[in-house]
Amino acid sequence: MPRHFLRDDDLTPDELVTVLDLADELKADRFARRPLAGPRGVALIFDKPTLRTQLSFSVGVSELGGQPITVDGRLAGIGERESVADVTRVISRQVAAIVWRTHGQDRIELMAGLSPVPVVNALTDSFHPCQILADLQTIREHKKQLAGLTFAYLGDAANNMANSYLLGGATAGLHVRVAGPPGYLPDPAVVSAAERTAAATGGSVLVTDDPHAALDGADVVATDTWVSMGQEDEKDDRQAPFVPYALDAAALDRADANAIVMHCLPAYRGSEIAAEVIDGPRSVVWDEAENRLHAQKALLAFLLEGH
Ligand code: NVA
């Protein structure tokens, strides 16, 4: 059975460290591993918009010796024109791995259940685990540790980034604090899973509607758009409730004096994050975006080389 990466806790705490170490190795020497030499193909399927993910997986697959093949999922009509199952059967006979950005987590779970090659979640409505790998690499670069740090996420706490920070942060042994308005808090099943993981790693989980409870003394502060892809029709409703959770200079002042600021991008300056914060000296968002490349290459090497 191939290894898949569908959500953050598909890697054990030890495996996560292995992948992050490999990501650092590949950042220092971009051609150190060639698991896709041939070149073997990797399908990159997008049912939603993309910039960083298409770019970083395309460059990354090439640097691993492989051939990226981008598939426009909307053109293919996956689940409409052709079933997820049939698409999986067709694609998986031709490539070494499948990377998919799609809507429901059930779709990628269905694909993984049928695929003889690794399936990687490149964002669903529920999780964005590749982003969290890059974020953890970035935090470790700047803070020289992961376990024991306090990580605060503010904003839409019901979205894919919040869920992935809970699971991935707990796996890394972080003290994860997630704050959002009532009605926009994480799925209790995800919180429970993160709590179980944190109990084993020495981390902890706090879910709150009090932004200060999340921010006070935090080592890392992160936010994300209030309107995720697919929620465009809710744009007007997704402003006022989130204003108290905006990451502005006053909010950042509550964090540790050496706190770093993260955002997965795209960012909306003046909404979830102030320009002076994302463009300020504590922001590490460009390192974070670059590390998508290194972290995802490490993940693919890990899945393909059968660690
Ligand atoms: N929560 C955002 C993340 C974008 C990388 C979205 O799903 O649109």
pLDDT of the chain along its 307 residues, tens only?
Answer: 899 999 999 999 999 999 999 999 999 999 999 999 999 999 999 999 999 999 999 999 999 999 999 999 999 999 999 999 999 999 999 999 999 999 999 999 999 999 999 999 999 999 999 999 999 999 999 999 999 999 999 999 999 999 999 999 999 999 999 999 999 999 999 999 999 999 999 999 999 999 999 999 999 999 999 999 999 999 999 999 999 999 999 999 999 999 999 999 999 999 999 999 999 999 999 999 999 999 999 999 999 997 6
> pLDDT tens digits, residue range 58-67?
999 999 999 9
* pLDDT of amino acid 307: 61
Q: What is the CATH number of domain 4-128+292-305?
A: 3.40.50.1370
User: What pTM was computed for the model?
Assistant: 0.98
Residue type present at position 215: L
* pLDDT of amino acid 155: 98
Give 37 Cα–ligand 1 centroid separation in angstroms.
32
- Which residue lies with its CA nearest to atom 6 of ligand 1? 228
Active-site amino acid positions: 101, 128, 131, 224, 264, 292
Distances (CA, A) of 52 to 32, 122, 288: 22, 10, 11
* pLDDT of amino acid 78: 98
Segments making up each domain of the chain, as ranges: 4-128+292-305, 131-288
Ligand 1 atom at minimal distance to the Cα of residue 123: 7
Give 120 Cα–ligand 1 centroid separation in angstroms.
16
Give 34 Cα–ligand 1 centroid separation in angstroms.
30
* pLDDT of amino acid 306: 76
Cβ(229) – ligand 1 distance below 6 Å: yes
Residue positions in the annotated binding site for carbamoyl phosphate? 101, 128-131, 264-265, 292
Give CA angle at 45 (304, 30), nearest 5°: 45
CATH topology of domain 131-288: Rossmann fold (3.40.50)
Residues 173 and 204: their CA atoms lie apart, in Å, by 7
DSSP string, the chain: ----BSSGGGS-HHHHHHHHHHHHHHHHSTTS--TTTTTPEEEEEESS--SHHHHHHHHHHHHTT-EEEEEEHHHHTBTTTB-HHHHHHHHHTT-SEEEEE-S-HHHHHHHHHH-SS-EEES--SS--HHHHHHHHHHHHHHHS--TT-EEEEES-TTSHHHHHHHHHHHHTT-EEEEE--TT----HHHHHHHHHHHHHHT-EEEEES-HHHHHTT-SEEEE--SS-TT-GGGGGGGSGGGGGG-B-HHHHHHS-TT-EEEE-S---BTTTB-HHHHTSTTB-HHHHHHHHHHHHHHHHHHHHTT-
* Candidate of 125, 163, 224 to mutate for ligand 1, largest count of ligand atoms within 8 Å of Cβ: 224
Domains 4-128+292-305 and 131-288 share a fold: yes
Give 95 Cα–ligand 1 centroid separation in angstroms.
27
Find the helix packing angle between 13-28 and 129-143, rounded to 10°: 70
CB 152, CB 177: distance < 8 Å:
yes
Cβ(159) – ligand 1 distance below 6 Å: yes
> pLDDT tens digits, residue range 164-205?
999 999 999 999 999 999 999 999 999 999 999 999 999 999
